[in-house]
Structure 1
Amino acid sequence: MGELMQKFRAAALAVALGTALGMALGAAVVAPAGATPKPSLSFDACPGDLATPYPAMTCASVQVPLDYAAPGKGQATLLISKVPARDPAKRRGALFVNPGGPGAGAASYVGKLTKPDGKGVTRLPPSVLDSYDIIGMDPRGVGHSSPFGCVDPGYFGGPQPDPDAAAGRERLWQTWAKFAAGCQAKAGAVLPHLGTVNVAKDMDLIRDRMGERKLSYLGFSYGTYLGAVYGELFGPKADRMILDGNVNPVPEDLWYQAALAQPPAVQKRVTDWLAWVAKYDPVFHLGTSAAETTKAWNAALEEFRAHPHGAVGANELLGLTFNVMFAEVGWEALGRALSDYTVKHDDSALVGMASPDTGAGAVQTTSAFQSVICADAAWPADRAVYERDTAAVAKGSQFAWYNTFASGAACANWPAPHGTRVPITGKALPKILMFNSVGDPSTPYAGAVKMHNALPGSVLVTERDSGKHCVFANPIGYANERAQQLGAAYLTTGQLPPSDTTIGGHPVPGPSGATAASLDRSPA
C-alpha cells in the first residue's frame, strides 16, 4: 500500500508537518499529439539531503497546475531527480520510477535503485542503467514537492490507543477524525487535487517537458495502480512498463478493501517468521517449535498492551511487526529484540525499534498518504461498517484493527469529496511485465491476479515460496536473480516471457554467523 503500503502510521513510522502547496499562477503547456516535444527542463544540483548520499543524481523543479481543469488558478512545485543513462550510445529513453506509498518520494528512490552497494551491485541491473535515464518525481505533497502537513509534529506521540480494545478504538476514531479536520484547516484548498489521476497527469507533463515522446515506467506497490491509471489516461505515451507488487484495481472502494485484505497476509508472514525463529533456537532461545515462539510473541504483545513501555504499547508493537514483514532482512533484528525482552527482560531493542517518529517528515508522509487514499475512491461513511468488517477480519489476524481503523476514521470524516475509482482496462497499453510474490503481505497475490486480468497485454511472473513485498530491483529485500534477468531483458530489448511464468523464490538466510544445520541444539 508499501509502500501501499509501507504503512505510514503513527504507531510505526508516524507523522509530520510541512507547508501548504504553492499557489503561483500559471498554466500547463503540452505538445500536440504525435509531435516530438521540445525539452524545457534544466537539471542541476539536488537539495542537500539528496545530493550528499547520491552525488551522481541531478534535479529539476517543475511547476504544474494544481487543478488541470482550471490551470490558471494555482500551481504546485514538483521536484524531479535524474540519473542519466551510463552509455549514451545505448540510451533508449526515460524510465520513470515510483516506490509506492502513497506518500513515498521517488526522487530519493532513484538514488537507492542506482547507487552501488559495498560490493558494487546496483538494484537496477547494469544493462538497464546503461539504457535509460532513471527519473523520479516526488508526487505533489510528497518529499520536496510542495509539502504540507495536517497536524503539528508530536500529534501522534505514543503510545497510541490499543486498537483491539473498544475504548481504544473510540479514542483512535476521535484522533483521526481530528486529523482529517486538521487537513481541512491547513491544506483544504489542495485536498481535492491530490489523488492518483493528478499524479498521472503530472507524470505526463514532466515527460513532455523533458522532450520525451514516450516514457517507460517501473512502479512498485501503490505505484502499480499509478502506472495502470497512467495507462488509461495516456496509453499511447507508454513505452515499456513493469508493475511489481500489484494493487487489486477492481473494487470501487479499492483502498478500503486493500486495508481489509492486508491483515491476513501479514499474519501469514508473522507465522513464517516465527517458524524461522524456531529453526534457529540456539540464537534466539524462544523455543524449537512455532508453537513456542508464537507463545513468546503473544506474551510480549499482551504485556505491552497491558503496560506500555514509554511511548510503545500494543499499537506501536503491531506497527513495527507489520512493517518488518515486508522483507526478511528485518527478521533477525526483530527476533533478537523479542529474545532480549523475553529471555533477558531487556526491552531496549524492542522499544527502540518500535518507538514512533513524530517529527515533521513523518507527519508530511502520513498527510500525503491519507490525502491520496481518501481522495481516490469511495470509503464507507458509517462507522458501524468499519466495526463489522474489521471484526470479521480480526478473527484471523492480530493486525486487523491496527490496519483498518486509522485510515477508516480519517477517510470517513474526510473534508474533501471522495473521487471515483478509475476503471482499469489496459486497452491502450503495450504488452507489459508484472511481478508478484505469492505470499506478498502488502499487496496479496489475489489482487495481482485481478490486475493481470484487467491488463490483457500483461505477462505475470510469480515468485513462488516467497513472501517479500515486490520482486524486481527490490531495494528492501533479497534479490531474485531470475527476476533481475527477466526485468532487464524486457526493459532493454522488449523481450517478454512467452506466457505467464513462475520463478523460484529466494532462500531466506539464517541469522548472521549461523546456519540451521550447524547449530548446536543444546539449551541456552
Structure 2
Amino acid sequence: MRAAAARYGTAGSLVLTALVAAPAGSASGTTPAPEAHGTVLAAQRAEAAGIRWGACAEADELPPSVRCGTVSVPLDYARPDGRQIRLTVSRTGAAREVRGKKVARQGALVFNPGGPGASGMYFPMVGVMPEWKRIAAAYDLVGYAPRGVGRSAPLSCQNPKQFTKAPTQSPTHPDESYKRERIAQAQSYARGCAARNPGLRHYTTLNNARDLDVLRAALGEKKLTFMGASYGTYFGAVYATMFPSHVRRMVFDSAVNPDPAQIWYDNNLDQSVAFEGRWADFRRWVAKHDKTYHLGATPEEVLHSYEKVRGELAHKPAGGKVGPGQLQAAFLKAGYYDDYWPTRASALSAYLKGDPKPLIEQAAPEPRGAVEEENGNAVYTAVECNDASWPTDFRIWDRDNSRLARVAPFETWDNAWMNLPCAYWSAPRQQPVDVGTAEGALPPTLILAAERDAATPYEGAKELNRRLPGSVLVTEEGAGTHGIGAGPNKCVNGHLDAYLLEGTVPARRAACAPHREPEPLTGERAAALPQDL
C-alpha cells in the first residue's frame, strides 16, 4: 500500500503461530511459539542493556539537540541467539516546561511514519513546532528506523540508479506490449530482492511489532506510548493484538484497514479508487481558481490541461527527465497532501505557457535521493509481499485493474505495477494477523482519520474502530490530507493533546470541520516555496 512514505515530512502459506493466535490479554498464550520466547528474551536483554545515547551519525542529518543510539533485535525471533541486527533510534528529552510552566514527564512517545519503508529518525525534531510543544514538554520524542530502513540492516533490491531511471511512461490503459514489459520488470525485481537479501523473509509486520516491543524495553518503558501514521497504524494494531498488556496509550493516525482479507491486495485496489476521488478534489480546487492558473474553469477542463501536458511529455520529456511517469508521481503527492496543490497547479500552468522549469524542479528525480528511495521501496515490497498471499496469475491482476481503470484511471495501473513483484515473490508468506482485542484488554486508544484520505481510505479507520473495543474515532470531515495529527486542524489537535497529555478521549465518535483549503499561489510567490511542495 502506497502510504505515508511519500512524506510525513500504506491468507498465506504459513500457519498462524501461537503468538498471534494467543487470546487477547496474553502476549504468548499457553504454549509459546519459538518467536514468542525469542521476543521475551530479546526484550529482557534490551531492558538490561538500555540505549547508549550519543551524537547522531552524519548520515542521519540531525541537529546536535537530537541524540541517537541503537537497539539490537534478532533477525529471526525463533532463533534469538542467532544473527542480530541493529535498529537506529533517535531521541530528544522531554522539555518539562511549556510557556513558563513546569510539566511532569510522562515517558517516551515512540513514533512511526508508515510506509512500509519510511524512517522516523527525524521525529524528535518536531518538538520545536507549535503543534507539538505541549506534547514535547511531557514526553521524550523517540523516532527510529525499522528493520530494513536506512542504516537498520538496510534492504536493497536493485541498483538505485536503475530504480530512479527517467523518463518513464505511465499509460492509464496499457497495451499488451507494455504489460509484458512491466511483468518482466516485476519478475526481475523480485529475483533481485531474493538474491541481494538472504534474510528477506524476516522483514514482516509481525517482526516490526516484535521489534517495537524490544524498543519499548530498551527505553525502560513498562508500557508503550505509541503514535503510528498510515502503515504505522497497522503494525501498531498488530502490536496491540499481540501485546495488549504492554500498551499505555496508542494513536492511530490515518488507519490502514486491518481486516485480514484486505491485506494487502484488496487494500491497494481500494486505495486506487480513493485516489481518483482525491484527484477530483484537486481538479475542483484548480478550477475554482481558474483566474490564477488558467487551467480550466471546470474539473473536466483541468483534466484536459493535465492530459495535454502528459501527451507532450510522452513525446518530449521536460529537461530530458520528466516524462508521464514523473508527472504522475509528482501529482500523486497532491492526492496525499493539499499543501502541494498550489505549487503543482503553478507548475502545470507555467509549462503550458512555455516555461517547463517549475515542473522539472518538482518532478525530476533527485540523484541524491536515489539510495533512500530505492531502499524505501525495497522495504515496502518485502513487508507487503511477505505479509500475505497475493495472486500469482497475472490474469487476475489484469482483470481487476483493467476493470478498475475504467472508473479510476489516475492511480490504478501505477499502483498495480508497484505491487506486481509480489506475484513472483519467492519468500514464504505469512497469514495476516486477525487484529482485535477483547473488551477491556486495552486502555482507550485514539484513531484519527480524514474522511477523504486516499492513501488509507476512511473505511479502514471505521474497521479498526470496530476491532479495538474502547477505541474512539475522530474524523476530519470533508478533508483528505494523509496524516492529520499535529497538522493544521486545531480541533483534531485538541483531541490529540487531551489524549496524550491527560489520557482522555471523546465519549463517542467525534467530528471536526475540515481545515482551510490552501490559498492559490502563482508567479514569484509560488517560486519562493520549496519545490518539493
Shared topology, TM-score over 0.5?
Answer: yes
Shorter-chain TM-score: which interval? 0.7 to 0.9
**Partner residue, 1:439:** 452
- Deviation of 1:53 after TM superposition, in Å, equals 4.2
**Could you tell me how far apart the structure 2 residues matched to 1:253 and 1:459 are?**
22
Distance 1:446 1:160, change over 3 A: same
**Partner residue, 1:483:** 492
For residues 139-168 of structure 1, give each alpha carbon's deviation from its aligned partner in whole angstroms, at most 9, with x where no partner exists.
011022121311112113122343432222
Distance 1:324 1:31, change over 3 A: closer
**Partner residue, 1:208:** 217
**Partner residue, 2:437:** 426
Does 1:147 find its partner at 2:158? no
SS at match of 2:407: coil
Alignment size in residue pairs: 481
| 8 A Cα contact 2:317 2:323, kept in partner | yes
SS at match of 2:220: coil
**Could you tell me how far apart the structure 2 residues matched to 1:109 and 1:319 are?**
25
SS at match of 1:155: helix
| 8 A Cα contact 2:4 2:482, kept in partner | no
Does 1:220 find its partner at 2:233? no
**Could you tell me how far apart the structure 2 residues matched to 1:402 and 1:159 are?**
17
**Could you tell me how far apart the structure 2 residues matched to 1:99 and 1:3 are?**
9
- Deviation of 1:347 after TM superposition, in Å, equals 2.3
For residues 224-282 of structure 1, give each alpha carbon's deviation from its aligned partner in whole angstroms, at most 9, with x where no partner exists.
00110111111110101110101011143512112111122112222111221122222
State the AA in 1 paired with 2:474: V
**Partner residue, 1:15:** none
**What percent identity do the matched residue pairs reach?**
33
Does 1:368 find its partner at 2:376? no
**Could you tell me how far apart the structure 2 residues matched to 1:407 and 1:31 are?**
35
**Partner residue, 2:145:** 138
Q: Which moved more, 1:98-107 or 1:38-47?
A: 38-47
1:412 to 394, 419, 423: 423
**Partner residue, 2:329:** 319
**Partner residue, 1:273:** 282
SS at match of 1:91: coil
TM-score (norm 2): 0.85
Does 1:55 find its partner at 2:68? no
**Could you tell me how far apart the structure 1 residues matched to 2:66 and 2:191 are?**
38
**Could you tell me how far apart the structure 2 residues matched to 1:184 and 1:296 are?**
42
State the AA in 2 paired with 1:391: S
| 8 A Cα contact 1:228 1:426, kept in partner | no
Q: Within 5 Å, which residues of 2 pair with 1:73-84?
A: 73-84=82-93
**Partner residue, 2:196:** 186
- Deviation of 1:62 after TM superposition, in Å, equals 1.7
For residues 362-414 of structure 1, give each alpha carbon's deviation from its aligned partner in whole angstroms, at most 9, with x where no partner exists.
11111111111111111111101100111121111223443332233210111
Distance 1:325 1:296, change over 3 A: same
RMSD: 2.4
**Partner residue, 2:106:** 92
**Partner residue, 1:197:** 206
**Could you tell me how far apart the structure 2 residues matched to 1:48 and 1:466 are?**
38
TM-score (norm 1): 0.87
**Partner residue, 2:269:** 260
- Deviation of 1:30 after TM superposition, in Å, equals 4.8
State the AA in 1 paired with 2:113: P
Does 1:378 find its partner at 2:389? yes
For residues 315-341 of structure 1, give each alpha carbon's deviation from its aligned partner in whole angstroms, at most 9, with x where no partner exists.
222121112221111111110111011
- Deviation of 1:54 after TM superposition, in Å, equals 3.0
**Partner residue, 1:329:** 339
Does 1:246 find its partner at 2:260? no
